[in-house]
Amino acid sequence: MSEKVLLIDDEPEFLESMGERLKLRDMDVDSSTNISEALDKLAAEQFDAIFLDLQMPGTNGIESLKMIKKLYPDLQVILLTGHASVEKGIEAMKLGAMDFIEKPADINVLSEKVKKAQAKKMILVEKATEERISSIITGKSW
């Protein structure tokens, strides 16, 4: 089963090669260069994980993260940034980011994170399914 990943970064070159590399590792990769495009894609499909650049021209990474988390609380967001500070990292983690990685990052680390994200997502999905089942079970009068 391939993991579905969305990359959000303002550098098309970076997106292109990273996308290709992840694809080589049997992942289903989509990418967008700005937040609004990303939001459209998120609305259209389900993703196991998204990589979000914290510093993109025109948008505040933390604000974007907040917005995404508000719309899709279960979505696993991995922050990828060139300007990492412990403070920013902690702030992001508090807002519900799954992880915080400094650029340039090792591809193996990244793919591992994706796998973990997918596992988490699976657990969440299972949980949700269970909840639905139990609600159906309790909701219906047999």
20 contributes a contact to another protein by CB under 8 A: yes
Question: CB of 1 within 8 A of CB of 48?
Answer: no
18 contributes a contact to another protein by CB under 8 A: yes
Question: CB of 62 within 8 A of CB of 94?
Answer: no
Closest CA to 30 of 12, 4, 9: 4
Binding mask 27-66 for another protein (x = CB under 8 A): ----------------------------x-----------
Which of the ranges 42-50, 96-104, 117-125, 132-140 carries the binding residues for another protein, by CB under 8 A? 96-104
Which residue's CB is nearer to another protein, number 20 or number 63? Answer: 20
* Minimum distance of another protein from residue 45's CB (angstroms): 23
Looking at 72-106, list the stretches that DSSP marks H as alpha helix, in order from N- to C-terminal side.
Answer: 86-94
Which residue's CB is nearer to another protein, number 71 or number 83? Answer: 83
Query: SS in 3 state form for 27-79?
Result: EEEEEECCHHHHHHHHHHCCCCEEEEECEECCEEHHHHHHHHHHHCCCCEEEE
How far is Cα of residue 18 from the mean position of the Cα atoms in its chain? 15
Chain contacts with another protein (rule: CB under 8 A): 11, 13-14, 17-18, 20-21, 24-25, 55, 82-87, 89-90, 93-94, 99-100, 102-107
